[in-house]
Amino acid sequence: MNSEELNQQRTYAWNMFSLYTNQRFKLFQTFLALTVSIIVFMKFSAGNVFYLMLLSFVESYLAYLFWKLDGRMEDLIGHAKNALLEVEHLSELPEESPLGILTRGDEVTKVRVQAAKEDALVIGAYVPFTNGLNLIYGPLCFVSCIAGCYWCMKWIELQN
């Protein structure tokens, strides 16, 4: 494979990686904006049990939906990262080349993750970025669903 084809593949793989990572951050920002909007609406509808129930279930559904979308974005980022790794391996770069960002980064990351896990035994728990997002989407979905059920029972109680 000549260098022009390799550069085209590297550019394509990098553009896909960049696109998917930017979409993932925008997805999370959108989720935060919608969640804050729902919380504000809940504050304004504090006297109306039906709206509180409805908004709680909407928030639960949004958390589930964004969790699934984030999982898909994580898969797409993984595919783009694998393509970049393949291009780096095809380029046959020297071991300490500054262009081998991902291959060199994997070794550095392994060392940092191991150090973080060792520190986590003392401090608490090591939570990578992806798991951190899951710790936001999952509990919020669960708590919103429980709140929706609570407000639903209150609404039924008021109807009787």
Check residue 9 and give its pLDDT. Answer: 87
Residue 53, Cβ density class (10 Å: 0-12 exposed, 13-18 middle, ≥19 buried)? buried
Largest CA distance in the chain: 77
* pTM of the complete model beyond 0.95: no
Check residue 109 and give its pLDDT. Answer: 58
Task: Output the six-digit token pair for 102.
Answer: 């991902």
Domain residue limits at 129: 3-159
Question: Cβ distance 93 to 99 under 8 Å?
Answer: yes
Count: domains in the chain: 1
Cβ count near 149 (within 10 Å) = 14
Residue 65, Cβ density class (10 Å: 0-12 exposed, 13-18 middle, ≥19 buried)? middle
Check residue 31 and give its pLDDT. Answer: 95
Check residue 35 and give its pLDDT. Answer: 95
Chunked into runs of 10 residues, the chain (160 residues) has average pLDDT values of 82 90 93 95 89 94 94 90 82 62 58 60 57 84 94 91
Q: Which residues 6+ apart lie within 8 Å of 93 measured at CB?
A: 99, 100, 103
